[in-house]
Amino acid sequence: MPGAEWFQTHWVAVVLLAAYTALMIYHAWVGKRETRSLGDYYVGGRGMGGLLIGVSFFATYASTNSYIGHAGMGYAYGLPWLIMAALIVVFTGLSWMVIAPRLRLFTASWESLTVPDYLERRFAAQGPTLRVASGVVILVSSILYLVAIYKGAGTLFEVFLGIDYSSAVLLTLLIVMGYTAIGGFVSVVRTDFLQGLLMIIGAVTIFVCITSAAGGVDQLPELATRPDTAHLFTWNAGIPLVVLIGIALSGSLKLLVDPRQVSRFYALRDERSVRTGFWVAVIGIAIIQFSLFPVGIYTRFLLDGVTDTDLIMPTLLNDPSVFPVWVADFLLVAMIAAAMSSMDSVLLVAATVFHRDLVGIVRPATDPMSWTRWAVVGIAVVSAWIALRPPGGIVEITIFSGSL
C-alpha cells in the first residue's frame, strides 16, 4: 500500500481522485432525483440533446482498452495498427448517419427500451426466441467486456498506486456500481460527459509527452532504418495484414450494433440532436484514437524487450522523464474516467437486458426499477470476480467480446 512518502509525491492524484469520486456521487444523486419512470432509468426519458449523447457515445467506446490496450499494441503491430483507428472513426460516423435516425424513430414509436425488445418488435414473426437469444449474447459479451475493463483499471492501479490487483478491482467495482445502480441512464450520461472531456485532454497529453520523450514526432522514420524495428513499417508488421484487418473489423464494426453504443440513440430528443451528436462523436473519437494508437510505436525509443504491451502505459506513467509527476497524476484520473465511462454503460445495458428480456419475460416484477438496480450489482460483482483471474489480455478479451 502507498505510504506517507507516496502521498507527499502524488497528493495531486489524491485530490483529483477525491474530487472525481465526489462528482460521481453528485451525479448519482441527480440521476436518482430525475428518474421517475422505467423509461427515465433505461433511456433518460428520450429527451437528451446531441452534445450529451455524442460525448457519451465516444466516452463509452474509448475505455482503458484504448488507453492501455490499443495504445500499447502499436509497439508490437507497428504502423498498420493505425488501420483500426481509422475504421473506428469511419464506423462511428456510419453508426450516427445510418443507425441513429432510424433507431430513434422506431424505438420511440414502439416504446422499446432495450435492443432485444426492439428486435422482437421489428421481427415479430420470430416470437420471443430472438429476444431471448439476443439477450443471452448481450449478457455474456457484456460480462467479458467488463472483465477487460477491470483488468485495465486493476493493472493501472497496481503499477501506479502500488496497491495489489484485487484491491484495485474492488475499488473500481464499488465506485462504478454505486452511481450506475442509483442514477441509471441519466447518471451514466452526465458522468460520461465529464469523463469524455477528461479523456480527450488525457489522450492528447499522452501523445505529446511520449512523442516529446522519444525525440519528437519527426523521429519516426528513424525506426524504419533500424534492423530491429524496420518490420514495423511493412504491411505484415507484427501479424499478417489479413489477420490485423480481421481484428480491426471485430473491434470497429460493433459500433453499428453494440447495445452499449446504439442504446445511446434511444435517448435522443429529435433530428437536430442526431446531427449534433454525429459531429461530436466523430470528432471526439478521432482525437482520442489518433492520439493513442501511434504511441506504442514511439515507445520503441523508450522501452526495450516489452513482452506484455498492457504494461507499457502504466510503466511510462511511473517514469518522470516521460510524464512529470503532476501530469501522471492527472492521467491516472483520466484513465480511470475512461474505464468507468465504459463500465457504467455496459453495466446498465447488461442489467436491463437481464431483467427485462430474460428474467422479466418469464417472471415480471412488480418493481422493475429496483430489480434492475440489483441486477447492476450482481453483474458488476460477477465480472469483477472473473477479472481477478482474467482469461487473456485486454485487447484480446475486448475483441472477442465485440465479435459476439
In this structure, of 159-168, 189-198, 264-273, 342-351, the range with the lowest mean pLDDT score is: 159-168
Could you give the CA distance from residue 402 to residue 298 in angstroms, rounded to a whole number?
A: 28
Average pLDDT over residues 234-263: 87
Could you give the CA distance from residue 208 to residue 298 in angstroms, rounded to a whole number?
A: 11
pLDDT at 116 over 80: yes
One-letter amino acid at 43 equals V
Residues 306-339 have pLDDT tens digits of: 888 878 888 888 888 999 888 888 888 888 887 7
Average pLDDT over residues 222-229: 84
Question: Could you give the maximum distance between any two Cα atoms of the chain, in Å?
Answer: 68
CB 156 within 8 A of CB 340: no
pLDDT at 393 over 80: no
| Host H or E run for residue 349 | helix 325-352
In the block, cell 509527476 appears at 325
pTM: 0.86
Give, as one character, the DSSP assignment of residue 114: S
Domains and CATH numbers, the chain: 12-22+43-403 (1.20.1730.10)
CB 352 within 8 A of CB 110: no
